[in-house]
Structure 1
Amino acid sequence: MKPLILAALLAALPLAVHAEGEDDDDAALGAAGLMSKGNKSNLPPILLSAGAPLADAPWKLKSGHYYEVEIEADGSQELGLVAPEFFRAIWIDEIVIEGLEVRPLGLDSVEFDEAGTMEIGFIAVKPGSYVMRVPGTKGDTQKLDIVIE
């Protein structure tokens, strides 16, 4: 009987410690946890256009935060984005393409053969520095630097 009571007390200990040291970020989360509305941010859109820069500034993301980004191709050229390391550092909730929702287990790259829009919803997970770029390019304007803190 004593081991059972001891086990129950030890299991409850992390909850009691967390309640005392709870910070403002955790308090904003609702019943849905990481998927709560208060834990969601929209990132600046990415425009895929021949010769145009991908983004105005690098992304600085917070691990455990939910983000949505819209990627739009203007159809000026067949263009894509490759970012295998970044896509493995996030959990992808869904990809929405023309109203169709896809929930992949993983992703390596995306490509637009013609004009269109895609929205990716994800949770940043693994801290580090990552690069998303147009495949086959080396210029600084054809890449997006991403940091997950």
Structure 2
Amino acid sequence: MIRILASVFALAALPVLADDHDGGGFGMAGLLSGSNKQDLPPITLSTGMPLAQAPLTLKSGTYYEIEIEADGSQELALVGPEFFRAIWIDEIVIEGLEIRPLGLDSVEFDEAGVMEIGFVAIKPGRYEIRVPGTTGETQRLDVVIE
């Protein structure tokens, strides 16, 4: 009993660790730290326009944010179940509303808008995100997770 009390008092005497906002403490670590975050070029959903300028190469274990922008020219969706199962989605933000899904198969825009997805690349491999029902190269985005 005395040892337990001594341990409790020893723990109480330790300094309180600062939060992540003042730079003096430990703060957020690893995957969700600011130093591990990268912004990706946006995906554009517009009739007859390419989804992106170039394929994406991601690094497993890195946190990414990507915006998907739809101009409202047509009701358009993106599918990529294999890709979405190779990442961990932290949040989806639509007009300031944050959604924290357990998984994702596709997204669809009925009108103009912007969606931001924050995620961690997990499973290395080659994946694609595409507009469903299309076969054109510009309607597909190739993604490699290294």
Q: Taking structure 1 as the reference length, what is the TM-score of the superposition?
A: 0.79
Q: Which amino acid letter does the alignment assign opposite residue 47 of structure 1?
A: T
Q: Secondary structure at the match of 2:98?
A: strand
Q: Secondary structure at the match of 1:110?
A: strand
What CA deviation, in whole Å up to 9, does each residue of 1:17-44 have, x standing for no partner?
A: xxxxxxxxxxxxx742110001000000
Q: Counterparts of 1:105 and 1:59 in 2: how far apart (Å)?
A: 23
Q: Secondary structure at the match of 1:41?
A: strand
Q: Counterparts of 1:116 and 1:51 in 2: how far apart (Å)?
A: 17
Identity score, percent: 77
Structure showing greater Rg: 2
Deviating beyond 6 angstroms after TM superposition, the runs of 4 or more aligned structure 1 residues are: none
Which residues of 2 match residues 64-79 of structure 1 at below 5 A? 64-79=61-76
Q: Does 1:32 align with 2:29?
A: yes
Partner residue of 2:5? none
Q: Counterparts of 2:28 and 2:67 in 1: how far apart (Å)?
A: 26
Q: Counterparts of 2:100 and 2:121 in 1: how far apart (Å)?
A: 16
What CA deviation, in whole Å up to 9, does each residue of 1:32-59 have, x standing for no partner?
A: 2110001000000011000100000000
Q: Which amino acid letter does the alignment assign opposite residue 133 of structure 1?
A: R
Equivalenced residues, count = 121
Q: Counterparts of 2:60 and 2:79 in 1: how far apart (Å)?
A: 21
Residue 84 of structure 1, CA deviation: 0.1
Which residues of 2 match residues 19-98 of structure 1 at below 5 A? 31-98=28-95
Partner residue of 1:117? 114
Q: Which runs of 5+ in 2 are unaligned?
A: 1-26
Q: Counterparts of 2:132 and 2:72 in 1: how far apart (Å)?
A: 16
Q: Counterparts of 1:111 and 1:137 in 2: how far apart (Å)?
A: 15
Q: Counterparts of 1:42 and 1:144 in 2: how far apart (Å)?
A: 17
Q: Counterparts of 1:87 and 1:48 in 2: how far apart (Å)?
A: 18
Partner residue of 1:8? none
Partner residue of 1:3? none
Partner residue of 2:6? none
